[in-house]
Structure 1
Amino acid sequence: MRAEGSAVSAHPDGTGLEDALEAFRPDLVVLDWMLPGRDGPALARVVQGFGDVGVVLLTARGEVGARLRGFEAGVDDYVTKPFDMAELLARLRALLRRLGRVSTTIQVADLVVDAGAGVVTRAGQRVDLTATELRLLGFLVENRGRTMSTTQILTQVWGYEDVAENLVQVHVSALRRKLEAHGDRLLHTVRGIGYVVRA
C-alpha cells in the first residue's frame, strides 16, 4: 500500500487499537482473523465505532459460517488465504472508491478512464465501451504496469475463473481495437502470462 502512495500504520496485534485509530484516523483497516488477544471480527466491531472506516478481513477460514460472522461484525470485504497481492490491492482500491476516498479517474498517457462516471477518452476523444469492456479496462488501468494473468482478470472482472480463457482474449481484442482507433497501443499481451496496460 505504501508503494501505491498510501500512508500506512502497521501493528502486530490488536493491542492499543483504539489509540492507534484515534491517532492515525485511517480510511481503511485490514485485519487478520487470527490475532493474539481479540480476533479479527472483535476488532472489526471496535473499528466500526470510529466512523466510516472500511474493514477488510484476511483469513484462512473460508467456510460460510466464518464469513457470516465477519460480515455481522461490520466487515466490508473478506479475502481468503492464500490470496494474490494484486487481487488484495484491487479490492482495497475498490473499497476506497466506494467510500469516496479516492478519485475514480486514472490516466495512462493520453487515455483517461473515469470508472465512476463510466467515461473513457483517448486523445480527447470519447471511447464507447460496453459495461464488460469498461470493467476490464478499469481493472487493467488500476494495475497499470503490472501484468495481469487471465485467471486474475476472470476473477476480478467476471467473478469466476472456470470458463474458457478465450473469453478474455475476445474482450481484450475488442477493447484494443477501440483504443487504437485513437492512438498507439497501450494494452499489451505478455505471451504465456497475460495482459498489461502501459505507455
Structure 2
Amino acid sequence: MAAILIVEDEVSINELIKRNLQLVGHQCTSVLDGEAAISEIQCHNYDLIILDVMLPEFDGFEVFKEVHGTPTIFLTARNSLSDRITGFSMGADDYLTKPFEMLELLARVEAVLRRTQKNKKCFEAGEVRIDFDGRQVFYKGELVECTPKEYELLEVLVNNRNIALSRERLLELVWGHDYEGETRTIDVHIQRLRKKLGWENVIKTVYKLGYRLEVSR
C-alpha cells in the first residue's frame, strides 16, 4: 500500500488517523509541527501527505511549498472558503474540514491514491483477487460473476478492511443515503459474497453491529 506522512498537531487526532490508515494496510509516519514535516519531506519520499493547516512553527501552506508534487490532503478546523481556495490554488488534491468521520478520510485517501496511481490496482487475499480497474473478481483463478451491488459492497469492505462497519453504514456507502430498504439486504449480500469467494471466515460478523473484512495487513 502507500507510504503516508501525517502532519497534525493534535496528538489524539494524529494517532487516530495513523491507527486507522495502518489498519487498512498503509505505512504511516506522523509528526506534530511544520518544522518536523519539512524535515521529513526533504529526507524521505511519500506517496501521500495528510497536512493540517494550523500548525506550530510553520503552517500547512508554508509546509506545502516544500512538497513538490506529492499528493496532499489538507485538514483544517477552519470552514472558510478562502482557505479552501488557497489550498486548491496551490495544488492540493483534496481538502477536509474537521471534525470529520474517519471513514470519509479513508475514502478520500483511497480516491487520491487511485487518481494519482499510487495505490494498488489489484487486491489479493488468499485465493481471491480483485481487479479494481476492470471491476472483476477472481477466485482460484476463475472469474466470479458479481452483481453491481455485490461488487460495490466488496470494494467498500476491502477499502475499509480490518475495520468494523455497521449495517447502516454499509447501506449508506453502497446503496446511498436515500435507500429505504432494510438492513437485511446487507446480510443477504454478505452471505452471497462469502459463498462465492470462500470467505466464510474472512468476512466476520461483528455482534450487534455489522461486518468486518479481516485480512493480514
Q: TM-score range by the shorter chain?
A: 0.7 to 0.9
Looking at structure 1, the residues matched to 76 and 189 of structure 2 have their Cα atoms a distance apart, in angstroms, of: 37
Deviations 1:16-39 (A, max 9, x none): 654432211211111112113443
Question: Is the 8 Å Cα contact of residues 58 and 80 (structure 1) preserved in structure 2?
Answer: yes
Match of 2:128 in 1: 111
Match of 2:9 in 1: none
- Percent identity between the two aligned chains: 32
What is the CA distance between 1:112 and its match in structure 2?
1.7
Higher relative contact order (CA 8 A, sep 6+): 2
Q: TM-score of the superposition, structure 2-length normalised?
A: 0.70
Q: TM-score of the superposition, structure 1-length normalised?
A: 0.75
Question: Is the 8 Å Cα contact of residues 54 and 75 (structure 1) preserved in structure 2?
Answer: yes
Aligned-residue RMSD, C-alpha: 3.2
Where does structure 1 lack aligned partners over 5 or more consecutive residues?
none
CA 172–183 in structure 1, closer or farther in 2 if over 3 Å, else same: same
CA 125–75 in structure 1, closer or farther in 2 if over 3 Å, else same: same
Where does structure 2 lack aligned partners over 5 or more consecutive residues?
1-20
Aligned AA for 2:48? L
Deviations 1:49-77 (A, max 9, x none): x23x1101112234545433322222212
Looking at structure 1, the residues matched to 77 and 168 of structure 2 have their Cα atoms a distance apart, in angstroms, of: 20
1:127 aligns with 2:127: no
Aligned residue pairs: how many? 194
1:77 aligns with 2:94: yes
Looking at structure 2, the residues matched to 16 and 188 of structure 1 have their Cα atoms a distance apart, in angstroms, of: 40
Question: Is the 8 Å Cα contact of residues 171 and 186 (structure 2) preserved in structure 1?
Answer: no
Aligned AA for 1:79? L
Match of 2:35 in 1: 15
Match of 1:173 in 2: 188
Question: Is the 8 Å Cα contact of residues 22 and 28 (structure 2) preserved in structure 1?
Answer: yes
Match of 2:8 in 1: none
Matches within 5 A, 1:23-62: 23-47=43-67, 50-51=68-69, 53-62=70-79
Question: Is the 8 Å Cα contact of residues 23 and 163 (structure 2) preserved in structure 1?
Answer: no
Moved over 4 A (4+): 1-7, 16-19, 154-158, 160-163
